[in-house]
């Protein structure tokens, strides 16, 4: 998995340089410290899927180009078979599987996200990104932290929110939580 992360980081750096943006300009656009952005490009720091989404928009490429190094080609429809989406494990607790990676010029990104249970001393790391997000719980129980609120979602529950507010997710209990995420 480390090799995939290094490849992703290298693609981001190369595309940023080809686009003529400095590290500082990208950090400002993402509203993160420059040192944190440098950590993204070096492969040392976690890049949340939502930040990858923002990076892809700034660089004018599909998010799947960042993830796979290949341009999406489908214009009319794209089928992703069960378990066959491109997977990204950016953090040990989170696994993202893209659901429409080969469709070109998407207006949103769709993922199946699996969140592993955390140790008792877990402190959530809140991330914010431009746009909106929709999450629908497929399995387990999900604790959502957003804008000074804590919401418990069970299988079949959903949440739609302004993702410019810091947010984090945590699986409750001893089983992973799995949810459909749409980033708009």
pLDDT tens-place string over residues 58-71:
999 988 888 888 88
Parse the chain into domains and list their residue ranges.
Answer: 2-68, 87-183
Indicate the pLDDT class of residue 89, thresholds 50, 70 and 90: low
9 touches 43 (CB < 8 A): yes
Indicate the pLDDT class of residue 43, thresholds 50, 70 and 90: confident
Pick the CATH number of 2-68 from 1.10.10.10, 1.10.260.40, 1.10.150.120, 2.40.50.140: 1.10.260.40
How far apart CA 98 and CA 145 sit, in angstroms, is 23
Indicate the pLDDT class of residue 48, thresholds 50, 70 and 90: confident
Indicate the pTM of the whole model: 0.78
Q: pLDDT tens for residues 134-176?
A: 999 999 999 999 988 999 999 999 999 998 888 989 999 999 9
CATH for the stretch 87-183: 2.60.120.10
Beta strands 177-183; 149-153: pairing state: unpaired
């Amino acid at each position: 998995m480390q090799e995939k992360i290094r490849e992703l980081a290298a693609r981001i750096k190369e595309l940023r340089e080809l686009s003529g943006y400095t590290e500082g300009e990208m950090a400002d656009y993402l509203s993160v410290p420059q040192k944190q952005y440098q950590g993204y490009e070096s492969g040392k720091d976690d890049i949340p899927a939502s930040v990858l989404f923002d990076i892809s928009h700034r660089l004018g490429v599909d998010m799947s180009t960042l993830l796979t190094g290949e341009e999406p080609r489908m214009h009319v429809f794209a089928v992703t078979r069960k378990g066959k989406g491109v997977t990204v494990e950016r953090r040990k607790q989170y696994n993202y599987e893209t659901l429409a990676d080969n469709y070109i010029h998407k207006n949103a990104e769709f993922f199946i996200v699996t969140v592993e249970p955390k140790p008792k001393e877990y402190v959530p790391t809140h991330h914010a990104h431009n746009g909106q997000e929709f999450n629908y719980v497929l399995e387990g129980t999900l604790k959502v932290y957003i804008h000074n609120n804590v919401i418990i979602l069970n299988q079949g529950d959903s949440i739609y929110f302004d993702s410019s507010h810091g947010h984090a997710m945590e699986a409750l209990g001893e089983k992973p939580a799995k949810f459909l995420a749409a980033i708009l």
